[in-house]
Amino acid sequence: MFFVTMDAYVALEGGRVVEARARAPGQTRGELVFTTAYTGYEESLTDPSYEEQVLTFSYPLIGNYGVRSERFESDGVHPRAVVAHELTDDVAAWLEREGVPAVDRLDTRDLVTRIREEGAMKCGIVAGEDVTPEDALDQLAQCKGMSEHVDIGEQVSVREPATYNPDGSGPDVALIDCGAKGSIVSSLVERGATVHRLPYDATPAEIEAFAPDVLFISNGPGDPENFEATQDLVRELAGEIPMAGICLGQQVIAGALGGETEKMAFGHRGVNQPVRDLRTGRVVMTTQNHGYTVADPGPLDVTQVNVNDDTPEGLESDDLRVITRQYHPEANPGPHDTLSFFDDVLAMTGSRTQVAAD
């Protein structure tokens, strides 16, 4: 007989408690979401866009090719906790070192079905010796909804500006860090750009000091409406300087220019999300991780849509010189179908006009 000691509990919004096995101890809470990605767990777990969420992997075995820091997208693990059907010892040890609770040996098929039917939900999660179902329910009771995390930008952004590839011969990019993945920086640097990484609440005057050729709004966690300072910046500089955005960046730019965003039921998280370009009819496979979407693109044209649910995946405006993507063209993890986005962004810089002085 094969016995597994159950020493972890996951309390779901509504009060149901699911038993599991502790793989990294701790007690925490967050919005329970799932990814269908079957590869790229190191990248997902270090993606700042997962801040304040509990990440469930629908793929049953996570960790089968080890843990290598070269693949990390930031300095630490961002989900509050991790749920999988089976986590390898390597991943469990890494999460324990990072102080991130992790559980496995629960029916993730059932959990994912529930999230698909009821939407992303609050959860409490406890793992380790002596934890009880009541502890998990206590955590659940303290769990905030994603949109209630009003200071989430502060949690994930750089404190001080940083410059990458200072002697580059390419364009200067002002990257507004709302929780940027490292491979957005490297995708730009590889193409010769100099990247000035700036806090999410950088002011127009701070941007102008760098005289950048393009303003690039990064990915990031939570509700784009909570990035008011970033939206103000976009509004202020719109039309003055070309702009690009990825994921939260698309949402912030659309919201700032008069459009609207809304929460999705369970979002898109995975590495095989099909996207159709409306101009060419071509479909590409994309990597995604988002729970909000653009509901109204404002003055921007929708140029790409998700094949599954028609939500906007690409927004553009020739007049305003804006180009954004809802998916992750930096492709870490891949597929690599959409890397040319970075070439398109840098190509926009040829048409730069002077940034207006205050």
Ligand X SMILES: NC(=O)CC[C@H](N)C(=O)O
Binding site: what residues are annotated?
A: 49, 220, 222, 248, 251, 289, 291-292
Q: Tell which one of 28, 49, 273, 324 touches ligand X (CB under 6 A).
A: 49
Per-residue HEC secondary structure of 50-82 comes to: HCCEEEEECCCEECCCCCCHHHCCCCCCCCCEE
Q: Which residue has the tokens 């939407």?
A: 119
Q: Is 79 in the site for ligand X (CB under 6 A)?
A: no
| Residue 91: CA count within 13 A, CB half-sphere | 28
Minimum distance of ligand X from residue 243's CB (angstroms): 16
Three-state DSSP at 162 gives strand
By CB atoms closer than 10 A (0-12, 13-18, 19+), residue 4 is exposed
Minimum distance of ligand X from residue 1's CB (angstroms): 43
- CA-only gyration radius of the chain, Å: 20
Residue number, 9 or 227, with CB nearest to ligand X: 227
Q: Which of 247, 268, 290, 313 is catalytic?
A: 247
Q: Is 289 in the site for ligand X (CB under 6 A)?
A: yes
Binders of ligand X among 217-246, rule CB under 6 A?
219-222
Binders of ligand X among 180-219, rule CB under 6 A?
219
Whether residue 48 contacts residue 220, with contact meaning beta carbons closer than 8 Å, is answered with yes
Minimum distance of ligand X from residue 57's CB (angstroms): 17
Minimum distance of ligand X from residue 136's CB (angstroms): 24
Q: Which residue has the tokens 């693949």?
A: 71
Whether residue 162 contacts residue 40, with contact meaning beta carbons closer than 8 Å, is answered with no
Q: Tell which one of 59, 227, 292, 342 touches ligand X (CB under 6 A).
A: 292
| Residue 38: DSSP 8-state | S
Annotated binding site for L-glutamine: 49, 220, 222, 248, 251, 289, 291-292
Residue number, 49 or 88, with CB nearest to ligand X: 49
Whole-angstrom distance, CA of residue 329 vs CA of residue 345: 11
Q: Is 248 in the site for ligand X (CB under 6 A)?
A: yes
Query: Is 247 an active-site residue?
Result: yes
Overall size of the chain counted in residues: 358
Residue number, 152 or 284, with CB nearest to ligand X: 152
The binding site for ligand X (CB under 6 A) comprises: 49, 219-222, 247-248, 289-292
Active site residues: 247, 328, 330
